[in-house]
Chain A
Amino acid sequence: MSRAVAEPTPAVASGPRQPLSPAKRKQRRTLLALAAIAYLITFLVILPILWIVLLSFQPSADILNDPLSLGHLGLANYVNAVQSLPLLRMYANTFLIAIAAVSLGTVVSFMAAFALTRMVFRHRRLQSAVKFYFLAGLAVPVYILLFPVYRLDLALGLFGTYGALILPYAAVSIPFNTLLMTGFLADFPAEIEEAAIIDGAGLWRLCISVVLPIMRPVIATILIFNIVYVFNEFPFASILINDPNMVTVSLAVSRFQGQFTVDYGGMMASATMVLIPQLVIYAFFQRQIIAGMTAGAVKG
């Protein structure tokens, strides 16, 4: 946001009314048109989200029969959701698992991606083989993993601990992280790093103070996606969590779905409550992506 304040954007700028050159005027008109398109697309995209929020204030019966009626809006669903869900505990558990799993997954993937793009293997084929080994994980549907991972957690003594979810979540994120990191690293010329090595930088300093800053936008993107993944992951959470004290937010919505009963209002309200913290997290990391612009400029 500070950027936006620092340099007022032309679309809203109301500078001194000087006659503009025809080129400038055309540029300005184009920008206005583009802004209009951007607003329109954004509006279309968020319309369904606004709709969940609206539905979350309606009684379940209205949601099913007349979702457009606005006659009985109220907070009943939220009261109900707050009363029947251990929300604080859910958020605490989710944050703990997300922070641990995402850090672990990102750190190990970063190390691997560095090795796969920057280090010189004696056998080049081995290097690309390892990379494809990781990338193949992208094609694996989670349901193939459920049963064996449960057994693995039991065998490793992780079952009933947070580790039971942290390790598989971190492992599942490796293919995605590797794809993004190796892809972006490959796009960067290695000159600065070579310069740093000539300056006498060791492996760790090279990673942490040279490569990491360059990768900032990518890492921010990866963190966002991984956190969103942990927040929404359902199949593992529903199978690997046995202790009611360890439930995560991704299980919140399903709590309203019984064998013969579904509380649509409760689902919508809990969905809204899960959504908002995630949007806040996104807004936070998004600044890191923007900040990356300046970091990227350093090397220029």
Chain B
Amino acid sequence: MRSLILRRPLKQLLAAVALTTSTALALSACAAPSTPSGSAPASAGAKTEITLSMQNPDVKTADPATWAIVQAFEAANPDVTVTVSGEAVAEHLQKLSIAAQSDTLPDIFWVYKANAEEMLQAGKLLDLKPVLDELGITSELPTSTVENFTSDGKIYGVPYQELLTGLWVNKKILTDNGLQMPTTFDDLVNVAKTLHAKGITTISNGANQSAFSVWSFLVWLDRFGYEDKLSGLLDGSISYNNADFQRMYEHIAQLRDAGAFSSNVSTQTYQQAVSQFTNGKAAMLDAGVWASSAIQESKVAPNIGFWQGAQFSDGVGNQNIIMDVASAPLVVSAKSGADPTKLAAIKKFLAFYYGEKGQQILVDNGQPPVTNYQATVDETTQSVLKVALEAASAEGVSSPKSQPDLLVSTQVANAMYDSIYGVIQNQLEPKAALDLVQKALDENR
């Protein structure tokens, strides 16, 4: 009898399960026609929807500049809705890759330059040249940026945000320890030795899930002749394992041996590195202008400096450079460009983003403008951003055309990161590090 009683609830459960299954299947079948596939009826006066897909899951908090531009745009253009979606970089790129193969790309999206070029070749991206010329945006963008996003005479992207990188410096830590702001590599090694003796990290960085956080070392590559060597590196006539780069990687090893890096650099993430710096526990942070808001809100804000990085007496070419280039592009899918209603809305959006209003919103949210727009920067609430902008426009300083890792395939870029962190973490001899990148270059030819 007992077993019978026990059995009854199970039967009910089963019935419920069967019911829900059938309901769910029916539901999913019903839901099918309402999928957002851009097939909304374009009746007069209806809103046009454009989709914007970004590299942050929560754009509102992680990328307030883009969020603010979208809000202001929608307010100014009531006939257009911008649906913002986003994923973390890895998932975002996975999604795009699959969507590119299936012709389901979003209208406007953030993507790496190398991937954008592959998609352009496969005919997935809209050539923006006519649009940008018509809107008068081309002439507002720096020439190097336009060149950077041009391939086969087609402009496939517009700069999403500015990539202004360098070392944020906590000047108080330097002065407290009787140190000057460094200029040359020897100065930097001296700073590292002095601070290491007192248990202070000189350069805060972290390799865990953020191997790409080697921005200041990518500038070093440019101080050892990367731009001139690039075409040779790509066609195989110059080895990555050359005497110039060898010297550069040995300098990384010297810096490591001087105790410049945190002891947990392998397990620390970039985010932890930022936190280490903003809490006054490291003298410098290897990052870029995107970190300005976090620094502004921290207690180290009043003592902040922005350093272009070490100059080398044994370097190659101009040493007085700062990385101030366009970051990854925003691109438009070819499919959306073929839809006149969508294209009109996309044009409106681009005109807003790269117009004065859009650019000032970037600045208000701690990002430098990407056009030639002369921004107004608030002296007190944006003191940190101002320091970086001043460093970028200092007398006699120039910028490379692009960041070294953006000019090669993703695999080679990752090998570069590994090679640099490999030396920092004392896993690779300089020579082995150079060979690692060369191997990736060989596999990509």
Contact = CB atoms under 8 A, between A and B. Distances in A.
B56 A107 contact: no
Contacts of B88: 254, 257-259
Interface stretch (A20-28, A177-185, A238-246): A238-246
B10 A216 contact: yes
B57 A254 contact: yes
Interface string A139-169: 0000000110011001001111111101000
Given A104-B21, A208-B14, A295-B3, A258 B35 contact: no
A160 B36 contact: yes
B98 interface: yes
Contacts of B6: 213, 291, 294-295
Interface in A109-163: 146-147, 150-151, 154, 157-163
Interface in A234-275: 238-239, 242-244, 251, 254-264
Nearest to B83: A244
Interface in A43-77: 61, 64-65
A99 interface: yes
A30 interface: no
Given A243-B36, A261-B271, A263-B61, A238 B31 contact: no
Contact of B95 (A161, A163, A239): A239
A212 interface: yes
B61 A84 contact: yes
Contacts of A151: 98, 101-102
Contacts of B276: 64-65
B396 to A, nearest CB: 30
Contacts of A295: 3, 6-7
Given A107-B21, A166-B24, A262-B271, A160 B35 contact: yes
A4 interface: no
B114 interface: no
Contacts of A100: 20-21, 24-25
Which range holds the interface residue count of chain B?
35 or more
B28 A161 contact: yes
A145 to B, nearest CB: 12
A97 B290 CA distance: 38
A162 B23 CA distance: 12
Contacts of A158: 28, 32
Interface string B1-28: 0110011001100100110110011011
Contacts of A61: 275, 278-279
A238 B28 contact: no
B220 interface: no
A64 B31 contact: no
Nearest to B290: A260
Given A84-B58, A160-B32, A258-B88, A209 B7 contact: yes
5 contacts: A239-B91, A259-B62, A260-B271, A261-B62, A295-B6
Given A106-B17, A147-B97, A259-B62, 7 more contacts: A103-B20, A163-B28, A163-B32, A238-B94, A258-B57, A261-B56, A261-B271
